[in-house]
């Protein structure tokens, strides 16, 4: 690594730690009302499907969603609802290793997995629509570029972007297709890497 880059990262790290310490010391472990801050624990005893997770997301209705290595969990503050893949139900979650959760401006709820593609969840019916790599022609646009999703975001214009382990995808809603963007070794204006996080 270049010495200047290393020093810049070191300074940013030290500065970040310094500001976090200031915040902590300033609050002295107390909330604004003067009461001590405490943490509640949510574990498998409360219904969490698995203790190792990749993502936590709060939707517009206030539900907390946990993407774990063994399912998608929705928590309302009292009860846990767990969604898992069922090989006998084509409308269940496509896979249990959850890596990304996102609610777009239209209220559509998206769930990315590692190895099992992208899901569009209908919260009214409890059913999932799957988007996966289409073989034998994965670059056709009819499917996502990789079955391992790392991130989902929405642009200010409403475009949905999906980062994967193999390329960046733009979802064309009205055609239900994907536009793929990849790193090309001979194109300096292409993506610098196919792993998008």
Are 119 and 110 in contact, with CB atoms under 8 Å apart? yes
Segment 26-55 mean pLDDT: 72
Q: Which of 30-39, 45-54, 80-89 has maximum average pLDDT?
A: 80-89
36 DSSP β-pair partners = 30
Half-sphere exposure for 38 (CA within 13 Å, toward CB)? 4
pLDDT of residue 182: 93
The CATH number of whichever domain residue 80 belongs to comes to 2.130.10.10
Q: Are residues 9 and 62 in the same domain?
A: no
Same domain, 66 and 143: yes
**Does any domain span residue 50?**
yes
Looking at the domain assignment, is residue 186 inside a domain?
A: no
29 and 125 together in one domain: no
The pTM for the full model equals 0.78
pLDDT score, position 11: 55
Kindly state whether residues 5 and 100 are assigned to the same domain.
no
Q: Are 144 and 179 in contact (CB under 8 A)?
A: no
Same-domain status, 27 and 85: no
30 and 48 assigned to the same domain: no
In the predicted structure, residue 26 carries a pLDDT above the cut 80 = no
User: For residues 65 and 55, what is the distance between their CA atoms, to the nearest angstrom?
Assistant: 8
Res. 4: pLDDT tops 90: no
Could you read off the pLDDT of 112-122 as tens digits, one per residue? 999 999 999 99
Q: 114 and 74: one domain?
A: yes
Determine the pLDDT at residue 142.
Answer: 79
Averaged pLDDT of the chain: 84
State residue 112's pLDDT score.
97
Kindly report, residue by residue over 142-159, the tens digit of the pLDDT.
Answer: 799 999 999 999 998 889
Range of the domain at 112: 44-181
Structural domains of the chain, count = 2
The verdict on 21 and 84 lying in the same domain is no
- Look at 49 and 63; give whichever has higher pLDDT: 63
Whether residue 71 sits in one domain with residue 26? no
**Closest C-alpha among 69, 94, 92, 80 to residue 43:** 80
Assess whether 22 and 109 both reside in one domain: no
Q: Is the pLDDT of residue 15 over 60?
A: no
Is 111 in the same domain as 21?
A: no
Please indicate, yes or no, if residue 152 is contained in any of the structural domains: yes
């Amino acid at each position: 690594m270049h010495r200047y880059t290393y020093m810049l990262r070191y300074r940013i790290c030290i500065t970040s730690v310094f500001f976090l310490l200031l915040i902590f010391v300033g609050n002295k472990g107390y909330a604004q009302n003067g009461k001590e801050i405490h943490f509640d624990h949510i574990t498998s005893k409360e219904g969490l499907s698995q203790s190792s997770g990749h993502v936590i997301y709060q939707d517009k209705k206030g539900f907390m969603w946990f993407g774990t290595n063994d399912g998608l969990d929705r928590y309302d503050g009292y009860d846990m609802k767990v969604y898992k893949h069922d090989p006998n139900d084509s409308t269940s979650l496509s896979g249990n290793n959850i890596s990304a959760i996102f609610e777009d401006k239209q209220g559509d709820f998206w769930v990315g997995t590692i190895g099992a593609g992208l899901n569009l969840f209908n919260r009214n019916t409890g059913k999932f629509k799957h988007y996966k790599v289409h073989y034998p022609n994965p670059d056709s646009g009819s499917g996502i570029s990789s079955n391992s999703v790392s991130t989902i975001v929405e642009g200010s214009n409403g475009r949905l972007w999906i980062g994967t382990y193999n390329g960046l995808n733009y979802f064309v809603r009205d055609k239900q297709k994907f536009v793929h963007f990849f790193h090309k070794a001979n194109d300096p204006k292409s993506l610098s890497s196919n792993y998008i996080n």
